[in-house]
Chain A
Amino acid sequence: DAKTTQPPSMDCAEGRAANLPCNHSTISGNEYVYWYRQIHSQGPQYIIHGLKNNETNEMASLIITEDRKSSTLILPHATLRDTAVYYCIVSESYNTDKLIFGTGTRLQVFP
């Protein structure tokens, strides 16, 4: 079973920041937080991952709370092409054997 809880859907205006929350209250010390997204009819795409520190790459920023029980994925300037289902996943291995997906958050970016 997935170890994360995400809202089923969110809306965001184009050009604004999209903040997608994720609860993982049972996360253990050696588990990483991964974010993937899936655009309609495509395979999931890796976005970012982190352990305890905040992370940023060209796609997004990941903010992890100090107690690591929740995190937020931030898309700083959402575009229509960011409309997708976003999955937050916790996994116990840096070189993860597998990912257990939940149902994710469906982000709709509108003009």
Chain B
Amino acid sequence: DTGVSQDPRHKITKRGQNVTFRCDPISEHNRLYWYRQTLGQGPEFLTYFQNEAQLEKSRLLSDRFSAERPKGSFSTLEIQRTEQGDSAMYLCASSPGLGGTGELFFGEGSRLTVL
């Protein structure tokens, strides 16, 4: 499978715990995006990377959220001191960046439930 992969697919945690999600983009895709999606809503943009550089962060990304892409390949999204409002699907997408068609390739998502 050469698509975008996300791990874990499901995570249940207690309020106050830290969680980390991993995203492996399509090989050689320069850009990587994180979105969050709650029930009945469309995906909301959180942040994106061009290679290892984090170029934009949404105001939705509070101080408890941190995303990294240290070597310009896989990325991690960490949520510290989780709250019940963090319960959502966290989607990762990648794109070739410059020279591409503008299409984003999404993974299946990581569903977080905070009890």
Chain A interface residue count, CB cutoff 8 Å, equals 25
Instruction: Report the Cα distance A102→B101, complex, angstroms.
Output: 21
Chain B interface residue count, CB cutoff 8 Å, equals 29
CB contact under 8 A between A42 and B108, given known A32-B102, A96-B102, A98-B33: yes
Scan B21-59; emit 1 where CB is below 8 A from any A CB, else 0: 000000000010101000011111100100000011000
A43 at the B interface (CB under 8 A) = yes
B72 at the A interface (CB under 8 A) = no
Q: Of the candidates A2, A49, A102, which one forms a contact with B102 in the assembled complex, judged by CB atoms under 8 Å apart?
A: A49
B100 at the A interface (CB under 8 A) = yes
Main secondary structure of the interface of A (DSSP, over half): loop
User: Which of chain B's residues have a CB closer than 8 A to the CB of A32?
Assistant: 102
Q: How far is the CB of A5 from chain B (nearest CB, A)?
A: 13
Q: Is the CB of B42 within 8 A of A46?
A: no
Residues of B within 8 A of A (CB): 4, 31, 33, 35, 40-45, 48, 55-56, 91, 93, 95, 97-109
